[in-house]
Amino acid sequence: MKKFFQNKSWQILGGLLGGIAGYFYWKEIGCVTGTCPITSKPLNSIIYFAVLAYFVTGTIAGFRALKRGD
Average of pLDDT values for 58-69? Answer: 84
For residues 14 and 68, give the distance between their C-alpha atoms in angstroms, rounded to a whole number. 21
Instruction: Note the pLDDT of residue 17.
Output: 97
Residue 35 is given by DSSP the state -
Instruction: Note the pLDDT of residue 70.
Output: 60
* pLDDT digit string, tens, across residues 5-35: 677 888 999 999 999 999 999 999 888 787 8
pLDDT at 69 > cutoff 80: no
Instruction: Note the pLDDT of residue 30.
Output: 85
- The greatest distance separating any two alpha carbons of the chain, rounded to the nearest whole angstrom, comes to 49
Angle between helices 9-28 and 42-68 (to 10 degrees): 150
